[in-house]
Amino acid sequence: MAGRIKIGISSCLLGHPVRYDGEDRRDRALIDALGKYFQLIPVCPEVEYGLPVPREPMRLTGSPASPRLVAVMTGVDHTDGMLQWIAEKIESLSGENLCGFIFKSRSPSCSVGGVEVYSPSGGGNSKTAGIFSRAFMMHFPMIPVEEEAGLYNARARDKFIKGVIDFSRKERRARG
């Protein structure tokens, strides 16, 4: 494992039972294809922030530019605590030398885009990225990211892998 290029991955895709319903979303094809060549570093924002398993599902509300992360049934707003955790996690990930990240699609915490943002009245008509993935992409704009759903497309998967390898080479050259 030592020396392999590191890619972050939403923990549920790696088979960790961390979803709100206690399930995982293990993606065997993805793990088999990429796990042989890369070191996959799992991150589950919601559980690492401190939410239990199982838990209420979350959704994004308010402004697409700065959405709130809110529990669907009770309306508990986790945004401030989550943003604090995210700032600390980003700091620690800065030392991990990640060269890519595979995010879970359709997640209010992890998705790269396409997550519904609901208005206070309950309607959803805007879309954005998850609260953690958004911060990750803003802090590490050059690190290639993709959702597992996007990687089912061979061309997108090849592009992602090439981007990861190119980024790794650049980083190694920069570090001397």
**Interaction of residue 18 with ligand SF4, rule CB under 6 A:** yes
- C-alpha distances (whole Å) from 142 to each of 79, 86, 98, 166 are 26, 18, 11, 11
- C-alpha distances (whole Å) from 98 to each of 14, 124, 176 are 16, 33, 17
**Residue choice 5, 7, 34, 44 for contact with ligand SF4 (CB under 6 A):** 44
Of 29-37, 41-49, 65-73, 86-94: span binding ligand SF4 (CB under 6 A): 41-49
**Residue choice 8, 45, 100, 144 for contact with ligand SF4 (CB under 6 A):** 45
Confirm if 131 and 60 have CB atoms less than 8 A apart: yes
**Residue choice 6, 10, 60, 112 for contact with ligand SF4 (CB under 6 A):** 10
**168's tokens:** 């790794």
**Interaction of residue 46 with ligand SF4, rule CB under 6 A:** yes
Which element (helix H / strand E) includes 38? Answer: strand 38-43
- Residue among 59, 50, 38 at smallest CA distance from 160: 38
**Interaction of residue 110 with ligand SF4, rule CB under 6 A:** yes
Q: Give the residue with the Cβ less far from ligand SF4, 10 or 61.
A: 10
**Interaction of residue 86 with ligand SF4, rule CB under 6 A:** no
Of 5-13, 89-97, 135-143, 165-173: span binding ligand SF4 (CB under 6 A): 5-13
CB of 164 to ligand SF4, least distance (A): 19
Confirm if 141 and 44 have CB atoms less than 8 A apart: no
- Residue among 16, 13, 12, 8 at smallest CA distance from 32: 13
Give the dihedral of Cα atoms 157, 109, 142, 16; nearest 10 deg: -50
**Interaction of residue 12 with ligand SF4, rule CB under 6 A:** yes
Q: Give the residue with the Cβ less far from ligand SF4, 61 or 107.
A: 107
Binding site for ligand SF4 (CB under 6 A): 10-12, 18-19, 44-47, 104, 107, 109-110
